[in-house]
Amino acid sequence: MAGQVNIDLPRPRGEGQLRSEGPVIKVEHLTKRYGDKVVLDDISFELARGRVYVIMGPSGCGKSTLLRMMIGAEAPDAGRVLLDGVDITTADKRTREEARRKFGVLFQSSALLNGLTVAENVALPIAQHTDLLRSTIDLMVRLKLELVGMGDAADKFPYEISGGMKKRAGLARAIALDPAIVFYDEPSAGLDPVMVGVIDKLIKDLTSKLGITSVVITHEMPSIFRIADEAIMLYGGKIVFQGSPGALRNSSSPLVRQFINGDPEGPINAPRQLAELSERLFGSGRAPAGGAS
């Protein structure tokens, strides 16, 4: 009808919001094996709402595996994950789909679709999961891009933007549906220190301003101390540390100390092939006789 103003109200908030009063995520006795290798060995912890949790630990210790289990993307061999009180590990497709509305994920690769612009990438989950009008979706996309400082790059394609911008675009997409929880798998990998700081601040702001619970997998020590309300360190399939950044800094655990100091010697085994390669190239660490000092 001529002159009609196209106003559609966003559907009532709530679909992506938390229903239970309890922990946002409860991991109970989670165990995962690949072949003979036990990657997660009877892991249990709880995450409260509105806080930043960092999951850390050496490469291959099972951080991404734990993440996949927390979002219901892969089934554990034993134990379960309650996401907002719902067992996501045994949920049927419909229940998983409902749970899916409660969280966003920023994957390590950013996983943007190259054939779509930044704005179209952010619009995708909204179009997939709601029946909102294009005009409303555009508005939501603008808002999310502004939030991550990417308002000017809306019409660029992923190959036209830098790694840091890709991360921020991925973050805008992860929060497109106003999730209660955001998972980040190494959000700062490959970024310069200033951009790492920018991403850290974004994670902090989203958590405090939007009340989001953030679960951040990272190796970046400065980030861990900047953003974490609580850190969880995995090693050998177990949780070897759980506590505040202050407690992490003061921990006397040799595993924790080696990890936060980046010490090549210690109880954390570097991959054997790497140790052997180093031995072949440089010898066993003794200075060659008559060599330069």
Contacting residues toward ligand ATP, per CB under 6 A: 34, 39, 59-65
**Residue 59 contacts which entry, ligand ATP, Mg ion, none (Cβ below 5-8 A, type-dependent):** ligand ATP
Residues belonging to the chain: 293
**Residue 180 contacts which entry, ligand ATP, Mg ion, none (Cβ below 5-8 A, type-dependent):** none
Q: Are the CB atoms for 63 and 259 separated by under 8 Å?
A: no
Find the radius of gyration of the CA atoms of the chain.
22
How far from 114 is each of 15, 90, 153, 166, 243, CA to CA, in Å? 29, 34, 14, 11, 40
**Residue 31 contacts which entry, Mg ion, ligand ATP, none (Cβ below 5-8 A, type-dependent):** none
| Nearer CB in complex with ligand ATP: 60/115 | 60
**Residue 188 contacts which entry, Mg ion, ligand ATP, none (Cβ below 5-8 A, type-dependent):** none
Task: Copy the structure tokens of residue 248.
Answer: 């992490």
| Shortest-Cβ-distance residue relative to Mg ion | 64
Candidate residues 17, 31, 64, 130; the one interacting with Mg ion per rule CB under 5 A: 64
Q: How far is the CB of 15 from Mg ion (least distance, A)?
A: 29
Q: How far is the CB of 107 from Mg ion (least distance, A)?
A: 10
**Residue 34 contacts which entry, Mg ion, ligand ATP, none (Cβ below 5-8 A, type-dependent):** ligand ATP
Q: How far is the CB of 114 from ligand ATP (least distance, A)?
A: 23
Q: How far is the CB of 146 from ligand ATP (least distance, A)?
A: 31
H helices of 71-227, in order, are: 93-100, 118-129, 134-147, 163-174, 193-210, 221-227
Would you tell me the crossing angle of helices 193-210 and 163-174 to the nearest 10 degrees? 10
Q: HSE (CB half, 13 Å, CA atoms) of 133?
A: 8
Q: How far is the CB of 62 from Mg ion (least distance, A)?
A: 8
The strand order across the sheet containing 181-185 reads 103-106, 181-185, 213-217, 52-56, 230-235, 238-243
**Residues at the interface with Mg ion (CB under 5 A):** 63-64
